[in-house]
Structure 1
Amino acid sequence: MCISCDHTIHRHQFNYGWSRDFAPELVAKSGQTILFQCLDSSGGLVAEDSTVETITTFDFGKINPLTGPVYVEGAQPGDALSITFLKYHPSGKGWSANIPGFGLLADQFKDPALYFWNYDAARMVPCAYGPGGKVPLKAFAGTVGVAPAEVGIHSVVPPRHVGGNIDIRDLTAGATLYLPVEVEGALLSIGDTHAAQGDGEVAGSAIETQMDVEIRIDIIKDAKLKSPWCRTPGPVTRHLDGDGYEITTGIGSDLMVGAREAVMRMVDLLSARHGLSPIDAYMLCSVCGDLRVSAVVNRPNWVVSFYFPRIVFR
C-alpha cells in the first residue's frame, strides 16, 4: 500500500503482451506517482503447492503478465518517458525454475526443475538456497516498457527498443529508466518482478516473486531516444563484492558460444567444489552470477566471463 501515491493500478488490471490498441487501465499526469501491483512472471500459476510438472504446462503466451497500461497525458511520439523507481514492496515468497527448452543451456538441461524461496520481505537479508549457499537480494522489475508503434499484439518475451523484458537488475529503488515514446500516451506497463537475479539470467528465471512497485513518471519532450537508457543512484555491485569472485571464461569467435562455455565451466566448478547437482548449480548461477563481455577487440577471438560471488558460500 502506498498512501502518498497519486494512483494505484491493481493486480487484476493486466495484459499479456504489448499493443498500441490496449485500452488504458489508468490515466496519469507527468510528475505523478503510481503504485503498480504486479503479479509474478507465472501470473500465479506457480503456487506453494505446485510440483515440477507445473513448469511443463507454461504457456509462453501468458507469462510475464503486465500490470497496465497507463496512459500518460501529454506523452507524444518522439518524447521520452522517465520512470523513477521509488520503492519496492516484496511479498517474501518466490520461485526459480528450469523450464524445458528455455535458457542459455537448454540443450543440456532438458528436464524441468522447481525451487521455492522464502525471504525476509522487510529486511531483504541474504536468502538461503536449500542446496547450498545464501543469495543476496536486490528487488527490481524485470519488465518495464511502453507500447510499440507497430500494430498488433506483440510477445512480452523478447526485449524491445521501447523497453519490455529488459531484465536489468540494477533498476532498483532510486534508479531511473528512460524509454522512447512511440504512441500517444506512451501506455506504460510493468511486471516480472524479481527478488534477485544475476546479469544474464542464464537459466531463464530469477527469484520470481509477486511485488508492488512505486514509481514516478515524467515526460521529457522531444527527447528522440533510440533505445532505453537508465541511471543508478550509486554503486551497483557492492552488495556482492565482499568476498571476491570465482571467474570462468569462454573464448572463441562467437560471443554466444563463449557465453555458454563460461556458464558451463562455472556449473562444473560449483558442482565439484560445493557438492551441488548440475541443475542446482545452473539455477543458482541464474539468480546471482553475472555474464560479462571481457574483450571484443582481439580478433578473431572474444572473451566472455562468468562471475560468481564467493560471498554466497561464505
Structure 2
Amino acid sequence: MPSPASHTIHRHQHHFGWDNAIPPILTVAPSETLSVDCSDSSDGQLTPDSTVADVAALDFGRINPVVGPIRIDGAQPGDAIKVTMGEFTPSGFGWTANIPGFGLLADQFAEPVLKIWSYDRAAMAPAAFSSSARVPLKPFAGTIGLALAEPGLHSIVPPRRTGGNLDVRDLSTGTMLYLPVEVAGGLFSIGDTHAAQDDGEVCGTAIESPMALTVTLDLVKRANLPPPRFTTPGPVTRHLDSDGYEATTGIGPDLMIAAREAVSRMIDLLVRDQGMAAVDAYMLCSVCGDLRISEIVDLPNWAVSFYFPRIVFR
C-alpha cells in the first residue's frame, strides 16, 4: 500500500523555468509522500471550449508550469533524489495541438491545429481520436526535475541533466526516477501531465491533460549520479502491443533525418490506409507510437523505426 500523502500542493503554487533562487514552497523530510495538483502544459490557456485560434494566441511564457519547488531536507550536491511515482487522478479533459514552428516535422505542418479530447476519468478506457481511432491511455508526468547549479532562469522547454522536460512516457505509476542533486535541498518541481504520449512526442504535444498525482521523495546520499535514470515496475508497452504494430523506417548517416523519414513514412501510410488528413496522422503518431533507434553500429548508416500500434484502429 502506498503511504498516505503528508502534504497537498495546489496547482497555483507553480513557476516557469528552473532557477535555484526561487524560494521553496515547502520543505519535506526524506520518504514523505506528496499529493500534487498539476495544470496542463498550457497553464489553462486551452480549455474544453478552445478553438484553433487559441493555439495561435498561446503565451509561450506560460508553457509547462511546474509545481514547486520543494526542498528535501538534508539533500546536498552529489546526492540523488529518488522519486517514486504514485497514483494519477486524471481530469477527463485533454488537448493535442500542432503548434507552428514546433515538432519534428514543423517544416511540413505549418498551420495550427487543435484536437480536444474527452475521456472517462474513472474507467480510463481508450480515448476517441475519431470515429475509427481510439488511443489507450497511460498517465504520466512529462516535466519533473531539480534545480540546476548555474544561477539564473533556465528555460523549461529542454530536458536537462537534473531532469526537466524529459517527456518519458514511462514515468508513470510505480516507476522510480533518480535525479542528481546540484543545490542544497534539491528543489524538486513537477508538472506537464499527460494522459498518453508516443515515444518521441513527435508533433511536440501529447494528450496534454491536467491531473493530480502522488510522489514519494527519498534521499540517496553520495549517489554521484550522472544524468537521470529510472526503473520501471514491469512491462511498458502492454497497453499498446496486444494487436502488434505497423512500422516504417528511416535509414541513413544522420539520426535526426532518419527519425523524420520514419515518422513521415508512417504519416503517409496512415493517410493511405486510414483515409486520414496528414496533420491528423501526425498528431495521432504523437500520442501513441514508438520512435526507436533500431540500429546504430553498422557504419555508415543507422536505422530508426516508427512503430504504430494496430490496437488504435480495432
TM range (shorter): over 0.9
Aligned partner of 2:225: which letter?
Answer: L
Mean CA deviation greater in 3-12 or 217-226: 3-12
Once the two structures are superposed, the pairs formed by residues 202-221 of structure 1 within 5 Å of their partners are 202-221=202-221
Once the two structures are superposed, the pairs formed by residues 164-313 of structure 1 within 5 Å of their partners are 164-313=164-313
Q: Name the structure 2 match of 1:61.
A: 61
User: Deviations along 1:201-250, whole A, 9 cap, x unmatched?
Assistant: 00000000001110111000000011000000001111111110000000
Q: Name the structure 1 match of 2:107.
A: 107
SS of 1:312 mapped into structure 2: helix
d(CA) in 1 for partners of 2:294, 2:232: 22
Distance apart, 1:119 and its partner CA: 0.7
Q: Which runs of 5+ in 2 are unaligned?
A: none
Q: Name the structure 2 match of 1:156.
A: 156
**Percent of paired sites with the same residue:** 59
d(CA) in 2 for partners of 1:132, 1:18: 41
Distance apart, 1:58 and its partner CA: 2.1
Aligned residues of 2:3 and 2:33 also touching (Cα < 8 A): no
Q: Name the structure 2 match of 1:91.
A: 91
Aligned residues of 2:255 and 2:302 also touching (Cα < 8 A): yes
| Count of matched residue pairs | 313
User: Deviations along 1:247-272, whole A, 9 cap, x unmatched?
Assistant: 00001110000000000000000011
TM-score, normalising length: structure 1 = 0.98
Aligned residues of 1:61 and 1:155 also touching (Cα < 8 A): no
Alignment RMSD, CA only? Answer: 1.1
d(CA) in 2 for partners of 1:16, 1:172: 22
Distance apart, 1:31 and its partner CA: 0.8
d(CA) in 1 for partners of 2:80, 2:57: 38
Aligned residues of 2:249 and 2:265 also touching (Cα < 8 A): yes
d(CA) in 2 for partners of 1:284, 1:72: 39
**Do the aligned partners of residues 248 and 84 (structure 1) sit closer, same or farther apart at CA in structure 2, a change above 3 Å counting?**
same
Aligned residues of 2:259 and 2:291 also touching (Cα < 8 A): yes
TM-score, normalising length: structure 2 = 0.98
**Do the aligned partners of residues 265 and 241 (structure 1) sit closer, same or farther apart at CA in structure 2, a change above 3 Å counting?**
same
SS of 1:186 mapped into structure 2: coil
Q: Name the structure 2 match of 1:27.
A: 27
Q: Name the structure 2 match of 1:11.
A: 11
Aligned partner of 1:162: which letter?
Answer: T
Aligned residues of 2:81 and 2:220 also touching (Cα < 8 A): yes
